[in-house]
Amino acid sequence: MIAMGAAVRLGSQFRSIMKRTVLASTLAATLLAGGAIAQIPPTDQRMPPPRSIQLSAQQGYVIKENVKDMHIEQVPRTNEIRIGDKVPSDTGLHDFPPLVVEKVPKVKTYKFFITENQIVVVSPQSEIADIIK
């Protein structure tokens, strides 16, 4: 009887050790796989460039309110518009009205066009500097 009790105890201890081993192995595999996934580089390597002009919400509002009264024809959008992109040479650019330049002096050397009810601010280098929605 004593031998049978010892065998049952040994079997119970063995199962307990095996459970802990399987749990530790599963945990280690999960952590290693998570680390490998975290190291996969993103597919889109293009970081958005910084805006070449910093407009506050109030300055954007001033621009919107004054430009909307100009009744400028919207440019049809052919592809996605992103800050830092070059503006096609055939895009009609407009100077900001004097009142806007007076209230937001930093746009003096910038131009703009309108597409899909967005004012696209263009730098002197013909790059998209900001998009006012």
pLDDT band per the 50, 70, 90 thresholds, residue 112 = very high
* pLDDT at 71 (0 to 100): 85
- Greater pLDDT, 67 or 52: 67
Structurally, how many domains does the chain consist of?
A: 2
86 and 36, same structural domain?
no
Residue 100 sits in a domain of what CATH number?
Answer: 3.10.450.160
128 and 71, same structural domain?
yes
67 and 126, same structural domain?
yes
Give residue 62's domain range: 57-132
pLDDT tens for 5-59 read 555 565 667 677 777 777 667 766 666 666 555 566 666 556 666 777 889 999 9
* pLDDT at 51 (0 to 100): 72
pLDDT tens for 97-106 read 999 999 999 9
* pLDDT at 48 (0 to 100): 63
* pLDDT at 41 (0 to 100): 62
CB 84 within 8 A of CB 54: no
* pLDDT at 57 (0 to 100): 94
| Whether the predicted pLDDT of 60 surpasses 80 | yes
Cβ-Cβ contacts under 8 Å for 73 (sequence gap 6 or more): 92, 114
Arithmetic mean of pLDDT, 74-80: 83
Does residue 51 lie in a domain region?
no
1 and 61, same structural domain?
no
- Greater pLDDT, 124 or 117: 124
69 and 121, same structural domain?
yes
Alpha helices in 1-133 (DSSP H): 2-38, 57-67, 98-103
20 and 71, same structural domain?
no
119 and 62, same structural domain?
yes
pLDDT band per the 50, 70, 90 thresholds, residue 115 = very high
Cβ-Cβ contacts under 8 Å for 83 (sequence gap 6 or more): 48, 49, 51, 128, 129, 130, 131
123 and 62, same structural domain?
yes
61 and 33, same structural domain?
no
